[in-house]
Amino acid sequence: MTGTVEIDQTTMDRVFVSPRVRRWQKDEWYLYFDPCNFVWVRVNESGRFLIEQFQQYLTVPRVIQRVMDKFSIARDQAASGVRMFVDNLVAEGFLHRNEYVPADRAAFTQLDFARDVYLHLTNKCNLACSYCYNKDDRTTKIRLAKKGLVDPVMNTEEMKRLIARLVELGTRRILFTGGEPLLRKDFVTLLRYARSLSADINLEVLTNGTKIDEAMAEILATYTDGVTISLDGHTQERHEKYRGRKTFAPMVRGTKLLAEAKRRLGRDRPYIAMVPVWTSDNVHTMPDVWEFCLEELGANGLAPILFQAGDHQELSISQIPNLGLFEDAQRRTTEYVRTFREKQGHSEGPGRGVGARNHCGVGHGEISIDPAGEVYPCQSLHYDEFKCGNVRESDVGDIFASADVMVQVRGQKVDDLSVCRHCDLKYLCNGGCRATAYNVYRTFDAHNEIYCKYLENFALNKLWGSSGVPICK
């Protein structure tokens, strides 16, 4: 032994790690996750060594001795490093002095009203995409409306009253969708009206981009916070395979016009997000699609969707990408995006915060309202069995609070799902989308078996992305 250091009483304590801690490795980094306390840390090889010592229930002095032996360093240096490591991870809630004590979990958020409302302005669309999630619902309603068998679409004044009520109830985000929302003649009137009611509410438009001309681009750049545009390939051939002939060039033109309008007006918003659907056919092009969107179209980013199978789709589950190919494409894309951001002078900052959730949001964080005023708990559950009421007949706030269907789906938590309840990652993936479970298995509380490994992938990416600056450098 070389050198001595006076060790305070705290370093004589035992330090404990959760008995259910999980670990994953990526390159030289290790991610540790305590599912009981819902806390995670990222450490390097030295940090992994220290955590493994504490998992053996060693006292701090014995750990210090092992550090001295392994790294051939003096006692004072080893003690200082171990003490700093322990202090940091105790502060994070990952390590515990004297005994491991699971924290009391904070109550999951209960909302008085939905944060997000998908407001479908029209059932009409100028495209017929092969895997559109609501195509059957929309075309059926259009056909029945012509025969007078369903309620007509809400007029301008009815839409205005609904928008005003949503703002009054505290909705944080209204997503104007359809069909294709830009086909509605009073779209601009409704958008301007919504903005006149609140400068703070987030207004977003979901569009295929083909109807964005110079005038519409300026409107969107002036009044919206976000515009998401459907895209399924970086080439005409790939895009039009799913979207139909003569759809690629108008989408490209519309997106570029919107990006140019933002620059001309000197605005940071709207955030332009391109929305591809990854399938077994196109997942290998993921980096190319990102490059095309960021460098050619002037988009801010992507909000990709994994192909969602179900009875409403023209394509089968064979279109779900192979997990290995998907993860390889993710790695290549991550490297490209990192390089691109660096060239733009944007260094990689800490990821978004990740909170525990026990519910996917159906009927709670979000609701969906069709053009005739029918309220559903999710934009992907526009089925008769999920109708909650009509805003022409009942207040939308009352429908949210007390409609039987809304209350029932809101009460379906991940802890109630037979398989998911036992998973350590359940409060990260929430059991996946309930609409997907219903569309694939025709049972609302089904296990999302065919997507489970993808949900795990997404959950781990959340943890890696939000781990920020490593605890142990």
Would 374 be classed as within a structural domain? no
Are 211 and 273 within one domain? yes
Would 451 be classed as within a structural domain? yes
Provide the pLDDT for residue 355: 86
Would 350 be classed as within a structural domain? no
Read off φ and ψ for residue 442, nearest 5 degrees: 60, 25
Cβ–Cβ < 8 Å for 280, 319: yes
Would 348 be classed as within a structural domain? no
Are 212 and 327 within one domain? yes
Provide the pLDDT for residue 158: 98
Are 329 and 201 within one domain? yes
Provide the pLDDT for residue 127: 83
Block means of pLDDT (10 residues each) for the chain, 473 residues, are: 44 81 95 94 96 94 95 95 94 90 80 97 86 73 76 95 98 97 98 98 98 98 98 92 92 98 96 94 94 96 85 66 92 91 70 80 96 96 96 98 97 93 94 91 91 93 77 41
Would 377 be classed as within a structural domain? no
Are 167 and 87 within one domain? no
Q: What is the DSSP letter of 334?
A: H
Are 128 and 35 within one domain? no
Where helices occur in 286-425 by DSSP H, the ranges are 286-291, 323-343, 396-402, 404-410
Are 64 and 127 within one domain? no
The neighbour count for residue 456, using CB atoms within 10 Å, is 16
Would 405 be classed as within a structural domain? no
Provide the pLDDT for residue 260: 98
Tokens of 151: 């309620």
User: 92: helix, coil or strand?
Assistant: helix
Are 299 and 271 within one domain? yes
Q: Which residues pair with 301 in a beta bridge?
A: 273
Select from 319, 343, 367 the last residue of a domain.
343
Provide the pLDDT for residue 350: 47
Select from 69, 97, 125 the last residue of a domain.
97
Are 204 and 317 within one domain? yes
Would 111 be classed as within a structural domain? no
Would 392 be classed as within a structural domain? no
Are 190 and 300 within one domain? yes
User: How many folded domains does the chain comprise?
Assistant: 3
Q: State the residue range of the domain holding 453.
A: 412-473
Provide the pLDDT for residue 471: 46
Q: Is the peptide bond before 35 cis (omega within 30 degrees of 0)?
A: no
